[in-house]
Amino acid sequence: MSTPTANVKAYYDSCPEKEWERLANARLEFDINMSFLTRYIKPGDTLLDLGGGPGRYALALAQRGVEVTLCDLSPENAAFALQKAEEASLSLQAFAGDAREIALLTHEMFDHVLLMGPLYHLWEEQEREEAMRAALSRLKPGGTIAAAFIGSYAGLIYDMRDYPADVLNPGILDLFELLVQQKPFAGRAFTDAYFERHQNVLPFMAKFPLETLHFLSSESFFAPCSDRLYAAPEEVYQEWLSLGIRLCELPDALPFAEHLLYVGRKTKEL
């Protein structure tokens, strides 16, 4: 069954500020991801941020001198990103569109592509493959792609940490039963969403002409207790962040992820 993208578009159109603030508050995800992205993305490089939302990563990279183009399914997200760029006197190109149709929206080739959002919402593997092929079609050979997934344990971690009483909600039990059965989730969550098992990511990426550079938990081991780290003094948070970056690629860290990040290099054309 194909993903009804109208639901996803309507969700993000209704709350660009919410996603902007989510990434500001979810510091581990943003800080760990940025620590890996900036190993490859340098000032003067060109970057396509596919599914870039309200522009948190796009603007952070533009501040570093990267030439960023953002495309998002939500026109409100794209407009919000442009507004934030104008407020910060940053150069940003942004427009609305489906990531799977990016080849119809721009013919430009980029040094780097981010696909850190669309794979959260595509239920069928064929749809996720389409999104990957579309992203790679705009990536120069030798360029890097960063693709993000919601981890299959994200709902469990979120409820355990933030809403423990939700375990009494009969509707959540179907999601938890999939964990027992070791299956991914595709269905209605915060909107229509897909939660991937970490064991499936590298086999999925092996379908494409990519050299794997990194595969990691964007929260390292710390998602279940992230609220405590955010409440700690800044120097304490920074020490935990430093440790988390060193640990986040360990296979043992992957089940603790709310978000998984794959970074690869394109080895040849599709």
Span 225-246, pLDDT tens digits: 999 999 999 999 999 999 999 9
Mean pLDDT over residues 103-113, rounded? Answer: 96
Across the chain, what does the average pLDDT equal?
Answer: 96
Least confident of 5-19, 29-43, 105-119: 5-19
DSSP assignment, residue 223? G
Q: 164, 227 in Cβ contact below 8 A?
A: no
Residue keyed to tokens 């690869």? 264
What are the start-end ranges of the H helices in the chain? 5-14, 16-25, 27-37, 56-62, 75-87, 102-105, 125-137, 154-162, 170-180, 201-205, 226-231, 234-247
Domain spans, the chain: 5-266
Give the rounded percent of residues in the chain with a pLDDT score beyond 70. Answer: 100
Secondary structure of residue 110 in the 3-state scheme: strand
Q: Dihedral (C-alpha) 55, 118, 213, 268: value to the nearest 10 degrees? A: -110
Q: 3, 131 in Cβ contact below 8 A?
A: no
Q: 239, 245 in Cβ contact below 8 A?
A: no
Q: Quote the pLDDT of residue 1.
A: 59
Q: 49, 57 in Cβ contact below 8 A?
A: yes
Mean pLDDT over residues 244-260, rounded? Answer: 98
Q: 110, 80 in Cβ contact below 8 A?
A: no
- Position 196 pLDDT exceeds 80: yes
- Position 191 pLDDT exceeds 90: yes
- Position 38 pLDDT exceeds 80: yes
- Position 2 pLDDT exceeds 80: no
CATH number for the 5-266 domain, one of 3.30.2350.10, 3.40.50.1950, 3.40.50.10320, 3.40.50.150? 3.40.50.150
Residue 140, C-beta contacts closer than 8 angstroms, at least 6 positions apart = 109, 110, 111, 266
State the amino acid at position 117 in one-letter form.
G
pLDDT band for 217, please (50, 70, 90 cuts).
very high
Q: Dihedral (C-alpha) 214, 155, 200, 212: value to the nearest 10 degrees? A: -10
Q: 184, 194 in Cβ contact below 8 A?
A: yes
End-to-end alpha carbon distance in the chain? 26
- Position 4 pLDDT exceeds 90: no
Q: 144, 265 in Cβ contact below 8 A?
A: yes
User: Alpha-carbon Rg of the chain, whole angstroms?
Assistant: 18
Measured between alpha carbons, how far is 154 from 69 in angstroms, rounded to an integer? Answer: 29
Residue keyed to tokens 């920074």? 238
